[in-house]
Amino acid sequence: MVLGVLTGCSPEYDAAELEYAGDYSSHPPLAVVGYPSTGTLEITQQVVWRIADGKAGVLAALTADEEERADAQKTAENWIAAFRKGAGGKVTAEFYDEGSYRQTVVLYLHDTGQIKQIYVLPASANARDGWGVYMREPDPAEATAVAPWIPKKPGELGSTVIP
């Protein structure tokens, strides 16, 4: 009877929750600056993890727009080639502005000194649930370019994009 009570109290997890828990425990923690929503934080973690793991197909599947699958695949390959080493170490994600609709996120890859800006937004109806990433950077130079407004260190602008 005691065994039945203990078994009845155990939580049930679905496959996605178990996968997330495994990813979370097998990657360095993501430092956060700014104000992400639950969805923008989760998709940003997924981007960093997939870059670190070198999984281009899985990273490309995080695209916000399923119709741009070819660009997303090439973009994923570019991001992995350029940022894989840094994504495997300490990373700070700075979330700019308010994240209920879309959010600019700047990734600071501390081990390599690299900076990568991504855009997180609601996914198209055919894409993965909830949130996705803008992935139209098929040119390696575009994928590694740093916009002039981005500060060299997290927090310098107070997590607000200055127009």
Lowest-confidence region among 61-65, 77-81, 91-95, 156-160: 156-160
Torsion of CA 78, 138, 115, 158, to 10 degrees: -140
- In the prediction, which pLDDT does 126 show? 52
pTM: 0.85
**How does pLDDT run across 95-120, given as a tens digit for each residue?**
998 777 788 999 999 999 999 999 99
